[in-house]
Amino acid sequence: MHLPAYPVRVAGDALASRGILSGDILIADAATPPAPGKVAVVMLAGDVLVAQLAWRNGQWQLLSGRAGTEPLTVEGDDAEIWAVITGLVRTQV
């Protein structure tokens, strides 16, 4: 059974400049359509990534929050946008 919404725990700091920190739990919704500017869960060449989406030259691109990082293009059979992030849970003790 495929659930339309599920939690994803963030590992790493690539989106810290966008307020998404390592250890945060994101709510990923597969029923929400991708749109430019949204953050999404993407399978790219066998790796699961969380990145901001951009639409350029008729293709989806993934933007990192790290300065100097080139966008990655989502294309071909090795790439798929799985879900759009619709929420964030952060707990601190």
Q: Domain of 74: which CATH number?
A: 2.10.109.10
| Total tally of structural domains belonging to the chain | 1
Residue 54 burial by Cβ neighbours in a 10 Å radius (0-12, 13-18, 19+): middle
Question: Locate tokens 């964030």: which residue?
Answer: 88
pLDDT of residue 91 exceeding 80, the answer is no
Residue 8 burial by Cβ neighbours in a 10 Å radius (0-12, 13-18, 19+): middle
> What is the mean predicted confidence (pLDDT) over 39-63?
93
> What is the mean predicted confidence (pLDDT) over 54-75?
89
Structural domain for 26, as ranges:
5-89
pLDDT of residue 83 exceeding 70, the answer is yes
Closest residue by Cα to residue 73 from 65, 63, 82, 88: 63
